[in-house]
């Protein structure tokens, strides 16, 4: 069976991206023989957030029209996530960070062969533990937990390594029509936008495999 690429465009502060990751895992379990080369790609829901982030409660209230509206959104997200084994702890999150540094780490994790582990750790740290996913010290710790050289990661994050490359990828995603995340792009041929049920993702995997077989 041929290997197909799956590019997942995602932001590390997007709760639906965490849910989408879980649903993809369930879809892959339904197709254990499928061979996918999964690559996580960057997106920024709000690139205007400054370095150091902003106070989350005030930011979300302004964005969604008040604290009551935010609470309703969180309730719906918790209900959706519970079906996928995620226990969102929104009350623990105090800051909404700029996500460029977390995307730099994900990029380097791809080279190190531990991208999935780093993505999972970032999501869990932010959404379940209310942790910091922006500062070099915190991200170096996450990298170290996933088998990377934490000291090297901290050194790279202290400079501007790959910032321009990550920003360029975000711009490219918008140019090709990505307006929301997660977005799953199968075999560079077609995309599925949103955290769809596993059955929808299975259909997309099957379609990509069929199309790959036709051109092989």
- pLDDT single digits (tens) 121-156: 999 999 999 999 999 999 999 999 999 999 999 999
Q: Are 125 and 54 in contact (CB under 8 A)?
A: no
Q: Report the alpha-carbon distance of residue 182 to residue 21 in Å, rounded.
A: 8
Per-residue pLDDT at 142: 98
Q: Give dist(CA 191, CA 186) in Å, integer.
A: 6
* pLDDT band at residue 216 under the 50/70/90 scheme: low
Residue 191: strand pairing partners:
185
- CA distances for 170 relative to 9, 140, 173, 192, 216, angstroms: 9, 23, 5, 17, 31
Under the banding of pLDDT at 50, 70 and 90, the label for residue 214 is confident
Question: 191 Cβ partners below 8 Å, 6+ apart?
Answer: 178, 183, 184, 185
Structure tokens, 170: 């975000």
List of domains in the chain: 3-47+98-215 (3.40.30.10)
Is 0.75 surpassed by the pTM of this model? yes
Decide if pLDDT at 215 tops 90.
Answer: no
């Amino acid at each position: 069976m041929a290997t197909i690429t799956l590019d997942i465009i995602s932001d590390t502060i997007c709760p639906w991206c965490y849910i989408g990751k879980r649903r993809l895992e369930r879809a892959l379990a339904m197709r254990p023989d499928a061979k996918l080369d999964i690559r996580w790609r960057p997106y920024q829901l709000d690139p205007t957030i400054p370095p150091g982030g902003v106070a989350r409660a005030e930011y979300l209230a302004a964005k969604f029209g008040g604290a009551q509206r935010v609470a309703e959104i969180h309730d719906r997200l918790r209900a959706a996530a519970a079906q996928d084994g995620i226990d969102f702890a929104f009350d623990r999150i105090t800051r909404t960070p700029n996500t460029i540094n977390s995307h730099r780490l994900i990029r380097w994790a791809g080279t190190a062969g531990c991208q999935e582990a780093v993505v999972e750790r970032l999501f869990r740290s932010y959404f379940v533990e209310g942790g910091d996913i922006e500062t070099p010290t915190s991200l170096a710790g996450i990298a170290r937990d996933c088998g990377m050289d934490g000291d090297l990661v901290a050194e790279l994050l202290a400079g501007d390594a790959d910032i321009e490359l990550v920003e360029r990828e975000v711009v490219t995603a918008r140019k090709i029509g990505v307006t929301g995340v997660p977005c799953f792009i199968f075999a560079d041929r077609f995309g599925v936008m949103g955290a769809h049920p596993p059955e929808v993702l299975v259909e997309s995997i099957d379609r990509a495999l069929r199309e790959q077989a036709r051109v092989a």
